[in-house]
């Protein structure tokens, strides 16, 4: 499993948490099992290979970090989504942006450009082109304004 796949799985979990039916720990513990991956992997190729310990730690860090910093990340999204009410932003798009912003803010080992590119590539699989452009624009503006020294 690549980091790209692990990141997309983390986006799935962040999306799932936006419905607030379960805690972050429940989602992680129930999803990061070989049984769950075997069941989901039969229909979703993304889950075909169970993540190793490093990949699981990365997924856990992303999902937990996004949950812990959710209000801050949503404030950034709202600030840079000029002319958009946060409630109008598709939940998948919000999950993708939360993960990318968390990486840019709290994972200095991941270059901003890589976080943005990965977010855009993930979005292409779930959202129409105009939403993908919207995500790219918000993340680019965020990086330029909030993290100029890391450009």
Specify the CATH number for the domain of residue 125.
1.10.940.10
Q: Vertex 106, ends 117 and 81: CA angle to 5°?
A: 55
**Gap between the Cα atoms of 10 and 8, Å rounded:** 5
pTM assigned to the model: 0.94
Q: How does pLDDT run across 96-143, given as a tens digit for each residue?
A: 999 999 999 999 999 999 999 999 999 999 999 999 999 999 999 999
* Domain carrying residue 30: 3-150
Tens digits of residue pLDDT in 46-100 = 999 999 999 999 999 999 999 999 999 999 999 999 888 788 899 999 999 999 9
The answer to whether 11 and 122 are in contact (CB under 8 A) is yes
Q: Which residues contact 40 (CB under 8 A, 6 or more apart)?
A: 47
Q: Sign (positive/negative) of CA torsion 105, 62, 142, 80?
A: negative
Question: What's the number of domains the chain is made of?
Answer: 1
């Amino acid at each position: 499993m690549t980091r790209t796949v692990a990141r997309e799985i983390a986006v799935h979990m962040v999306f799932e948490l936006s419905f607030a039916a379960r805690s972050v720990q429940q989602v992680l513990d129930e999803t990061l099992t070989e049984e769950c991956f075997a069941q989901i992997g039969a229909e979703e190729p993304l889950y075909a290979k169970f993540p190793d310990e490093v990949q699981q730690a990365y997924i856990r860090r992303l999902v937990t970090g996004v949950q812990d910093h959710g209000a801050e990340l949503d404030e950034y999204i709202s600030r840079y989504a000029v002319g958009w009410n946060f409630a109008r932003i598709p939940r998948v798009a919000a999950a993708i942006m939360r993960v990318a912003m968390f990486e840019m803010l709290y994972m200095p080992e991941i270059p901003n450009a890589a976080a943005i590119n990965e977010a855009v590539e993930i979005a292409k699989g779930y959202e129409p082109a105009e939403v993908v452009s919207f995500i790219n624009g918000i993340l680019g503006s965020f990086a330029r304004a909030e993290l100029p020294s890391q450009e």
